[in-house]
Structure 1
Amino acid sequence: MPLDDFGLDDQAACLRLLSGPERHRHDAFKSEPARLQHLAVRGLVRTTLSRYRDITPEHWRFDTNRYGRPFIDDSLDVSGLHFSLSHTRGLVACAVATFAEIGVDVEPRDRDVGLAELAPAVFSPRERARFEAMSGQARQDFFFTLWTLKEAYVKARGIGLSLPVKNVELDLQVSPPIAHFGDEIDDDASRWAFRSLHLTGRHIVGIAAAVPDGELKIVPRQTRAINPPLNA
């Protein structure tokens, strides 16, 4: 969901959906862009999930694991429905799957975060060598393609920043990307599918998924604003 047209009416509609803790967090934001991103992504997940189950957006309840990953509260007795959220300047995203290990991350292509300083902490030696040989927008896109895919993997695993992401090496010279894991990751790379999407001209979206059976199939959908429930 692009945030360009997230107007006052949509913001008011989203506010009405929030739980008490979500509203408290919303009100605590000092940054207006961060507040709007939080509001939009909470509205997005609620209205999106209601398209898959007969639960109205305001009645969804969520919990988090000890690393902060959100999931549908067990009290709702919902099975076979899982999600991952991400938000950044200008865009919020919600990935929905029938399996638990799904992760999404989004970043603007022009974000200035000191890429050269971050690269040693997040890239394998081979990834870093390729990054340092690039310049301009290609260098930016390479960085954020890897960054979003690795962040999506971390989210899908649901164990927070304890994963040493520079030991997750991704080969972007093939399509779709292929992953190689160091021993520190303690996971089988062959379980995972990675996809990088340019859903807008300004953002890069990374998706990581461990599909229990079959191939990963992605169906992108863009909303102009937070959608009402189907029966509204």
Structure 2
Amino acid sequence: MAAGSRALGNGGDLTPGPASAFRPWWRPHLRQGDLVVYHVDLTPANGSESAALAWLDESENERRRRYLGDLPKRQFALCRAALRILLVRRLDCPNRSLRFEEGRRGKPFALIGDERCGFSFNVSHSGDHGMIAIAPGGRLGVDVEVRRERKAIDQLIEILLTEAERRQMEQMDSDRRISRFYDLWTAKEALVKANGLGHAIDVSRLNLVDSVGRSGETRGFHDRDVLGGRWEISNLGTAVFAASLARELPPAP
């Protein structure tokens, strides 16, 4: 670390020091200019939960205690603490001054004291995998789902996908069909989360048949009917999980 730089200490504030007092449980998964998506390791064996708890404020620790079961407790603690650390680093502010509130439809935003933070972020988790997307402004959403067999997958395909998306999947074998469903589903969820509209959007009207590519690919999506605007959709998935990032683009000149 260069002279004069600052590291994160154990107490949750920016403090002088040669290195972080803990081993990060997150790592960059995608970089697009000033936007970064991080993968968060939520496995219980990584030993990070006790370090994460020190970063949460009183209301967040109370929220964690209300979750039923170890997995949701761990998912919340590790994702929220990682988000705090990443924002504190970007904003160069003490952890104690950073707090979160929710908009009218439940989408969280960050404040430093009483001033709204200029960074946009979104968080998702499924099983032992979390995703955090952060960018300096603009609407964005991220979603992750562990790929697994679902008894009701045929019903989900009928409910969540457009006719064109279903036709595209007709000639696929079972494994490819399930994989494609997860890719489309996470892309739709990422778009919904970016808009902060929750279940007010009927995702079966979002036709992404040509807008979701292979893993690592980013494609455009121009929607006139449901969300409006111009978007980029990035497929962040692996063999283990499906994940998508949706980011709004500036209006065309």
Task: State the TM-score bracket (shorter-chain normalisation).
Answer: 0.7 to 0.9
Q: 62-71 or 165-174: which moved more? A: 165-174
Name the one with the larger strand percent: 2
Higher RCO (CA 8 Å, separation ≥ 6 residues)? 1
Please say if residues 99 and 211 of structure 1, whose CA atoms lie closer than 8 Å, have aligned partners that are also in contact: no
The structure with the larger Rg is 2
- For 1:129 and 1:26, locate their aligned partners in 2 and report how far apart those are by CA, in whole Å: 42
Structure 1 counterpart of 2:156, from 86, 100, 118 = 118
Task: Check 1:144–1:58 CA distance in 2 against 1; reply closer, same or farther (3 A cut).
Answer: farther
CA–CA separation in structure 1 for the residues paired with 2:151 and 2:126: 13
Q: What is the TM-score when the length of structure 1 is the normalising length?
A: 0.81
User: How many aligned positions are there?
Assistant: 209
Q: Which residue of 2 aligns with 1:37?
A: 75
More helix per residue? 1
Corresponding residue number in structure 1 for 2:221: 179
CA distance in 1, matches of 2:151, 2:120: 31
- Aligned counterpart in structure 1 of residue 178 of structure 2, from 140, 151, 156: 140
Q: Secondary structure at the match of 1:26?
A: helix
- Take 2:154 and 2:219, find their aligned partners in 1: how far apart are those partners? 23
Q: Deviations over 1:85-120 (max 9, x none)?
A: 001111111100112301000111225262111112
Q: Deviations for 1:158-182, whole angstroms, at most 9, x for unmatched residues? A: 1111011111111146853343546
Deviation at residue 194 of structure 1 after TM alignment: 0.7
* Unaligned stretches of 5+ residues in structure 1: 215-232
Structure 1 vs Structure 2: percent identity of aligned residues? 28
- Structure 1 residue 78: Cα displacement: 4.9
What code does the residue aligned with 2:221 have? A
TM-score by length of 2: 0.75
Specify which of 10, 23, 30 is matched with residue 61 of structure 2. Answer: 23
In the alignment, structure 2 segments of 5+ residues that lack a partner are 1-39
Where does residue 97 of structure 1 map in the other structure?
135
Q: CA RMSD in A?
A: 2.3
Residue in structure 2 matching 1:52, options 83, 90, 93: 90
Distance in 1 (CA, whole Å) between partners of 2:186 and 2:117 is 27
Q: How do residues 69-218 of structure 1 correspond to structure 2 at under 5 angstroms? A: 69-73=107-111, 75-110=113-148, 112=150, 114-170=152-208, 171=210, 172=212, 176-179=218-221, 181=223, 183=225, 185-188=226-229, 191-198=230-237, 200-212=238-250
**Residue 196 of structure 1, CA deviation:** 0.5
- Residue type at the aligned position of 2:218: P
CA contact (8 A) 2:111 2:117 kept: no
